[in-house]
């Protein structure tokens, strides 16, 4: 009876918890062997800028990402970086946006880096520009992963064939997506 049925969904509300969003972003950006995301350079670079230990929170209509920023700034000489080494907390707030099946982020605002203007001058462009471009979440992929075990639990294979996010907003400790989509049951 249900074999191969396609069920069109209209006006579905999906919620993504703060914990799930944080876990997804850690897997995407901070999954290297040292748990860092490099804004400039890499783990073998003498001079670099990296972030680590991300924590997310929702504040009004924005997502706040708190990270520890590590930087070795200076000039490369003989394979070493001559300059200054810094470890600073940083906060970047982002506005969530949706396009198709992807949750993205825009309007990055630096909330805090350092009390020293010269350090902010060096770090701010990297945090403001690269962090939002690198952080995206494909909501359809998350939902498909969640549905992957449907056969074992229900006896039916449920597939998400299409998802289109209409709007996105922060409500309490959840990211709420209004979406249209198609599910198939086999």
* Cα–Cα dist 58/24, whole Å: 16
Report whether pLDDT(160) > 60: yes
Q: Confidence class of residue 132 from pLDDT cuts 50, 70 and 90?
A: low
Burial degree of 91 (CB within 10 A; 0-12, 13-18, 19+): middle
* Cα–Cα dist 82/49, whole Å: 14
* Cα–Cα dist 67/143, whole Å: 27
pTM for the predicted model, two decimal places: 0.75
More confident residue, 132 or 64: 64
The pLDDT tens digits of the residues spanning 84-129 come to: 888 888 888 889 998 899 888 888 887 766 666 766 666 676 666 6
As a whole number, the mean pLDDT across the chain is 82
Closest by CA to 145, choosing from 7, 24, 58, 18, is 24
The pLDDT tens digits of the residues spanning 15-43 come to: 889 998 888 888 888 887 788 988 888 88
Closest by CA to 72, choosing from 115, 105, 39, is 39
**Number of C-beta neighbours around residue 117 at 10 A:** 8
């Amino acid at each position: 009876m249900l074999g191969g049925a396609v069920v069109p969904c209209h006006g579905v509300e999906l919620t993504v918890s703060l914990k799930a969003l944080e876990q997804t972003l850690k897997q995407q950006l901070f999954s290297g062997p040292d748990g860092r995301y490099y804004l400039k350079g890499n783990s073998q670079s003498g001079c670099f800028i990296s972030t680590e230990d991300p924590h997310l929170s929702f504040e009004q209509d924005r997502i706040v990402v708190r990270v520890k920023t590590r930087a070795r700034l200076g000039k490369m000489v003989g394979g070493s970086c001559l300059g200054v080494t810094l470890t600073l907390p940083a906060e970047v707030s982002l506005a969530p946006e949706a396009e198709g099946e992807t949750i993205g982020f825009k309007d990055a605002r630096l909330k805090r880096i350092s009390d020293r203007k010269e350090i902010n001058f060096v770090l701010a462009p990297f945090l403001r520009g690269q962090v939002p471009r690198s952080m995206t979440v494909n909501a359809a992929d998350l939902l498909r992963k969640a549905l992957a075990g449907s056969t074992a639990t229900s006896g039916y294979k449920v597939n998400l064939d299409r998802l289109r996010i209409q709007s996105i907003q922060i409500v309490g400790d959840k990211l709420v997506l209004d979406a249209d989509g198609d599910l198939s049951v086999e």
